[in-house]
Structure 1
Amino acid sequence: MSTTTKDGYLRKPEWLKIKLNTNENYTGLKKMMREKNLHTVCEEAKCPNIHECWGIRRTATFMILGDVCTRACRFCAIKTGLPTELDLAEPERVADSVQLMNLKHAVITAVARDDLKDGGAEVFAETVRAIKRKNPFTTVEVLPSDMGGIYENIQTLMAARPDILNHNIETVERLTPRVRARAKYHRSLELLQRSKELQPDIPTKSSLMIGLGETKEEIIQTMDDLRAHDVDIMTIGQYLQPSKKHLPVLKYYTPQEFGELREIAMTKGFKHCEAGPLVRSSYHADEQVNAASKQRQAQGEKQQQA
């Protein structure tokens, strides 16, 4: 049973305590990011797994198109405003950093750029191409905004053939207008399906954060909606309030509840589901894409035998 603090906020349970790790991997990555003038969603969004990913797994999620978002979602810690420039040299710097880090799997996300006609799709695509050119054995996952829901923007991005297309649904349909600025629940579903239609062999993925007042039935309905739009991989994590200006946490789910949700997701037909209190969209992303690829290969072999 969750208790409250003096300010009336829910007290964090024991299972959300994080072990800090500021070893040479962590400090080295932080130094390199600053030297290359690169941003990471790990830092900007105050991800709880940054010490594990940077300090132990030596992985990071690059955030391109600057560090100012044109949207002001009520769950997100990234600063908002009107971006002033577009850095066309950024794709090459990201590719160089992936090479220096010797990454097996790179995740590329971005702030929403509603000020750009293509929503940043061309820079996204060029970043994918640059990474693959300099790091042919690195798999690349992209995590874009909805890019205005414009079909041509999705075409531009998918033409670069990322190894996985990730776009987060974030919350259930009922809460979307309150939680996600300018985003639309069904537009996100449409982007995921159109991506799959453009490149059927590329896995699609989406993430749901819980603890904002959704019901279990709404969580299951979101799973059904994602599967109805051919989404292959799902992640489910606990929403954590970045600051007092953001939406409060209404419930902390237990590890057991996350385990149950994972089992339900797998029965729905997802090729892989990662669920847990500290799970985020990019958490163990390399394992997710590998698991989905193995299951897709196994299904193909069964079809050939039949």
Structure 2
Amino acid sequence: MPGSSSSADAAARRLEIASLPDWLRRPIGKASELSTVQKIIKQRQIHTICEEGRCPNRAECYAKGTATFLLMGPTCTRACGFCQVDKGHAPMPLDPQEPQKVAESVQLLGLRYVVLTSVARDDLPDAGAGWFVQTMQAIQALNPTTQIEVLTPDFWSGSASQQQQRIQAVVEAQPACFNHNIETVARLQGVVRRGAKYERSLAVLRCVKACNAATATKSGLMLGHGETEAEIIQTLQDLRTAQCDRLTLGQYMRPSLAHLPVQKYWTPAEFDRLGAIARQMGFSHVRSGPLVRSSYHAGEV
């Protein structure tokens, strides 16, 4: 029957959500707490990863008047198996006003610390690095005391030397922190991060430190794809070898039935133990918990 498949999918999705562990449930937030940020971003036709990625913390962050801006449109040129962001068709042209729109939004929200991220844009000549720089400069011009954290893709499209030049350009724009997520352990990269590579991501973090050793670096993993604790610890060791300073560990939550299924829900106690291990390894700042995401409480460092 027409529609029976979609109805079955919706029922399966509701059942999956209903079976979530208690520690992954949180209130959606009051409409009054969400409206200010949503109104500003909709008026300016800009995007946030809070909405595009359906972040479970967006109510809390919006209530505090914070958001992570998603640059270069909502459509990604890659097809990671875990990510809710739109993909599978041509991305939209860059909006030449976007850097200024984001800067004005930061000013209106009174943000002292802002996070800029983006979809992967392998279609652009510089993979989008220059757009990060332009947006940072626009924010700095209007908001000279606001600190900026960048959460970038790997800027890979061409060669290692081109990648390094792109990373250097972003570092020279003086972000307070340069974040690039490795997302999962080495064994699962091909399944989880289609188009990305484990060693390439480590190279991003190493390159940032080579450009400016004083720039704080950060990375994160989403747990629940079938990784073992030993594999997680090895990944943390690899990140420390790449001089990564800060770390986030969170639980992967399946956005839809079209995405990779969750293999395990790690408990709060397990996250606490992994966080303690990370601190012992020398990470200067660690956020480890089921609902932790890359930008969660980023400005508290």
Query: For the residues of structure 2 that align with 1:208 and 1:84, how far apart are their CA atoms?
Result: 29
SS of the residue 1:147 aligns to: coil
Residue identity opposite 2:51 in structure 1 = E
Question: How much does 1:23 deviate?
Answer: 4.0
**Partner of residue 40, structure 1:** 48
Matches within 5 A, 1:247-258: 247-258=260-271
Q: Matched residues in 2 for 1:126 and 1:200: separation? A: 23
Following superposition, the deviation at residue 83 of structure 1 comes to: 1.3
Say whether the 8 Å CA contact 1:125–1:156 is kept in structure 2. yes
Letter in 2 for 1:96: E
> For 2:30 and 2:86, how far apart are their aligned partners in 1?
25
Residue 69 (structure 2) aligned to one of 56, 62, 68: 62
Mapped contact 2:75–2:86 kept (Cα < 8 A): yes
TM superposition score normalised by structure 1: 0.90
Stretches of structure 1 that go unaligned for 5 or more consecutive residues are 291-306
**For residue 265 of structure 1, what is the aligned residue in structure 2?**
278
Q: Tell me, yes or no, if the aligned pair for 1:71 and 1:181 is still in contact at 8 Å.
A: yes
Q: 1:118 maps to which residue? A: 126
- The number of residue pairs the alignment matches comes to 283
Compute the displacement of 1:36 (Å). Answer: 0.7
Q: 1:16 to 1:185 in 2, by over 3 A?
A: same
1:77 to 84, 102, 114: 84
Q: Match for residue 94 of structure 1?
A: 102
Q: Secondary structure at the match of 1:116?
A: coil
Give, in whole Å, the separation in 2 of the partners of 1:220 and 1:209: 13
CA distance in 2, matches of 1:6, 1:121: 40
Q: How far 1:32 moved relative to its partner? A: 0.9
Taking the aligned partners of 2:259 and 2:152, their CA distance within structure 1 comes to 22
Distance 1:39 1:92 in 2: 13
Taking the aligned partners of 2:49 and 2:93, their CA distance within structure 1 comes to 19
2-side partners of 1:122 and 1:94: how far apart?
15
Question: Runs of 4+ in structure 1 displaced over 6 angstroms?
Answer: 5-8
- Tell me how far apart the structure 2 counterparts of residues 285 and 94 of structure 1 sit (CA, whole Å): 18
1:20 — aligned with what? 28
How many Å separate the matches in 2 of 1:222 and 1:65?
30
Q: Is 1:159 matched with 2:175?
A: no
Displacement of 1:222: 0.5
**In 1, Cα distance between the equivalents of 2:80 and 2:150?**
20
Distance 2:68 2:209 in 1: 23
Structure 2 unmatched ranges of 5 or more = 1-10
- CA drift at 1:25: 3.5
Q: 1-side partners of 2:78 and 2:50: how far apart?
A: 18
* Match 2:253 to one of 199, 221, 240: 240
Q: CA deviation at 1:6?
A: 7.4
1:279-298 matched pairs, under 5 angstroms? 279-287=292-300, 290=301
RMSD of equivalent CA atoms: 1.5
Deviations 1:95-129 (A, max 9, x none): 11000000011000000000012011111011111
Given that 1:88 and 1:123 are in contact with CA atoms closer than 8 Å, whether structure 2 keeps it comes out as: no
2-structure distance, mates of 1:112, 1:86 = 13
For the residues of structure 2 that align with 1:84 and 1:191, how far apart are their CA atoms?
26
2:199 to 163, 167, 186: 186
CA pair 162-82 structure 1, distance change in 2 beyond 3 A: same
**Amino acid in the other structure paired with 1:30:** Q
- Read off the aligned partner of 2:130 and give its amino acid letter: E
Give the CA deviation at 1:275: 0.3
Identity %: 47
Q: Is the 8 A contact 2:180 2:205 kept in 1?
A: yes
TM-score by length of 2: 0.91
Find the aligned partners of 1:58 and 1:257 in 2 and give their Cα distance: 31
Contact 1:258 1:276 in 2 (8 A): yes
